[in-house]
Amino acid sequence: MDVDGGHPLYIVEEMIKEYLLGYNVVQGHRVIYKQKEKYRSIASYLYNLFFLIFIGLNIVKQNSIFRLMDRKACEIFRSNSPWGYSLKSNFKKSDKVKVKNVSYDTLEREFGVSKYNFFRLLVLSLRVAYSQLSIQRFFFFNFIFLVLVVISLINNNYLVLILAVLSIVLLTVPYFSLIKINPVSRIKILETDEN
């Protein structure tokens, strides 16, 4: 959770109850956030749509990093190091992780103001997208761009060639740069005693 008062403590009890009912992850879902600027609301909607199409993951319910995870879910999270950039998760069915969403309203920040301007949000958004891009989708998109390269070479269409090569570079360089770094190692995870 954040420490600026943006994540309300009143739902912690509900989150613990859901955890005790057998859910591996209890995810806080922010429904109302009155301090959000208009452009951020529109950008969030478009980004969520892009994320669903490009990444194949619906992150609408993960619009907050306020969550409770058991040890099993935490270990899976830690083993997927790029997830640490976004603190979003993309559990597979084979992980057998049960997720429960708990909705809450955030009317005002208790402390401070957001330091994220449009540019910082854009960089963060791209980092989040790459952190959740599966290797299968990565190769699929690169294959499409390579096909475009071949077609554009055959047809002497240099504009499409340049755009396709640029797309391959923009997809490949950030993707592999994220894999090299493990941000999860810098995350403070509080755990309860096993007893």
How far is 1 from 8, CA to CA, in rounded Å?
Answer: 9
**Residue 65 within any structural domain of the chain:** yes
How much is the average pLDDT of 117-124? 74
The domain in which residue 70 lies consists of 9-186
Question: What are the tens digits of pLDDT across the range 16-44?
Answer: 999 999 999 999 888 765 555 666 677 77
Residue 52 in tokens: 């669903």
Residue 161 lies in a domain: yes
Count of alpha carbons within 13 Å of 76, Cβ hemisphere only? 17
Domain annotation covers residue 1: no
Out of 22-26, 59-63, 114-118, least confident range: 114-118
pLDDT tens track for 134-162: 888 899 999 999 999 999 999 999 999 99
Residue 3 lies in a domain: no
In a domain, 194, yes or no: no
Number of domains in the chain: 1
For residues 68 and 16, the answer to whether their CB atoms sit within 8 Å is: yes
Please determine, for residue 195, whether its predicted confidence score (pLDDT) is greater than 50.
Answer: no
Taking the model in full, what pTM does it have?
0.64
Query: Does the residue 181 lie in any domain?
Result: yes
58 alpha-carbon distance from chain centroid: 9
Q: Is residue 191 part of a domain?
A: no
Whether 124 is covered by a domain: the verdict is: yes
Q: In what order do the strands lie in the sheet with 67-69?
A: 67-69, 25-33, 99-106
